[in-house]
Structure 1
Amino acid sequence: MALLQFKPAPMYILDEVDAALDLSHTQNIGRLIKTRFKGSQFIVVSLKDGMFQNANRIFKTRFSEGTSVVQALTPADLK
């Protein structure tokens, strides 16, 4: 963590980094990303609401009739 803060990358891609975590710890990771890495962009794949609550942008992807459908959402849309 200290190394990432010392020399942060411009972009990170995290694929279900919260898969084994409960809601509380998922929210903590989301808050940590949002507060400590303001100069970096994150693409996070997650199935948990705790991560969505800290997102600036959310893209919901689903498969419909043989085609991928992408929908842009905000955290307010999930309530």
Structure 2
Amino acid sequence: MLDLLSTVAAAAVPQGLLFPGSVVRSAPFQVLAAFVAINTLVYGTLAAAKALPKVYAPAWFGGRNRRAQNRSIFPDPPERDS
């Protein structure tokens, strides 16, 4: 069965599907290949960044922007004696 599939596939695919070496080594083709490579890296990086959780840079630094008093409508929990 596998031999039959490979024979049919070889007959159905034209022989000129791959580019000749002179086309692959040409400058326009190399520019296109570089563009595709960079584009793939950019979109791969964007997809990975979207899959990761958000990073909040202000949380890295100390609390200079903290209030001196609690202004919440909920009271503070009582302090425990250690």
Higher helix share: 2
Check whether TM > 0.5.
Answer: no
> If the TM-score is normalised by the length of the shorter chain, which range does it land in?
under 0.3
Higher relative contact order (CA 8 A, sep 6+): 1
If the length of structure 2 is used for normalisation, what is the TM-score? 0.21
TM-score by length of 1: 0.22
More strand by share: 1
